[in-house]
Amino acid sequence: MSKKLAGKVALVTGGSRGIGAAIVNRLANAGAHVALTYVSKPDRANEVVKTAQALGVKALAIQADNSDAGAVVAAVERTVRELGGIDILVNNAGIAIIAPIDNYRLEDLDRTLAVNVRAVFVATQAAVKHMQAGGRIINIGSCNAERVPFVGGAVYSMSKGALVALVKGLARDLGPRGITINNVQPGPVDTEMNPATSDFAKMLLQKVMALPRYGTAEEIASLVAYLAGPEAAFVTGASLSIDGGFTA
């Protein structure tokens, strides 16, 4: 793979598994030094780090819960301190608490917004203090920002819809500084949290999807790598769907 990101430093939140781990691997393959955050299971996070290091780049795992704004800022600062800066921020960490409105707990609403929205703003605010022209911020949103074909997804959808508006506004703030910010909106992706063999997956494949399959984490990572690279220098303020026709 071409080393288009050689010498760059990236931080991927929630990078120890699934889409996040695939993003870490893809950026490392492109030559970037990578830091990742995780909440629990340090062994898994360290495995991702070792895989990246085997590609000849520096890599670092940082324990940080995205619901804790102080921990998010500390993760950015540690990345800068130990890897020598930050050029790419991938706001990947997120949660999905699904329940109909009659049963939705206020504490779950607060945690969803803290992790999926506030932490994205906090990490971005902390990172851009250190970014030079050419910096890249990439948020992992969801196709559910545009379509919710199941009961109980309102709060999750709201949180991902907020990212659509956030990148539009921040593109104006950051454009004069030569920093781009974009939103990737995956459709259903085969991970341990959302397996392609579940009954829920069967419903989506039969009634919702245009392509009759789930996506892969590597496919999402490929779009992130494009946005992080030099070919995407003129893309900012965009929400790009990679959803197998979920929103078609």
Judge whether 218 and 26 are in contact, CB under 8 Å: yes
Which residues have a catalytic role annotated?
A: 156
Helices 154-174/106-113 angle, 10° precision: 30
14-27 residue pLDDT tens: 999 999 999 999 99
Q: Report pTM.
A: 0.97
Name the nearest CA neighbour of 163 among 187, 137, 188.
137
Q: How many CB atoms lie within 10 A of CB 193?
A: 11
Q: What is the reported pLDDT for 1? A: 57
Query: pLDDT value at position 205?
Result: 94
- Structure-block tokens of residue 158: 């709201």
Q: How far apart are CA 233 and CA 220, in angstroms?
A: 19
Domain 9-241 CATH assignment equals 3.40.50.720: yes
Residue 64 pLDDT: 98
The answer to which of 58-72, 190-204, 226-240 has the lowest mean pLDDT is 190-204
Hey, what are 36's tokens? 């990742």
The answer to whether residue 216 scores a pLDDT higher than 90 is yes
Predicted confidence (pLDDT) per residue in 26-64, tens digit: 999 999 999 999 999 999 999 999 999 999 999 999 999
pLDDT value for 2 = 74
- Give the three-class secondary structure for 234: coil
Pick from 54, 52, 68: which is nearest to 15 by CA?
A: 52
Domain boundary assignment for the chain: 9-241
N-term to C-term CA, the chain = 32
Q: What percent of the chain has pLDDT over 70?
A: 100
- CA-based radius of gyration for the chain: 17
Query: Residue 65 pLDDT more than 60?
Result: yes
pLDDT band at 193 (very low <50, low <70, confident <90, very high): confident
Q: What is the residue-wise DSSP string for 42-53?
A: HHHHHHHHHHHH
- State the pLDDT at residue 135: 98
Q: Is 56 left (phi over 0), alpha (psi -120 to 50) or beta?
A: left
**Distance (Å, whole) CA 117 – CA 163:** 7
Residues 97-105, mean pLDDT to the nearest whole number: 97
CB 16 within 8 A of CB 38: yes
Edge-to-edge strands of the sheet including 9-12?
59-63, 33-38, 9-12, 88-91, 136-140, 180-186, 239-242
Residue type, 10: A
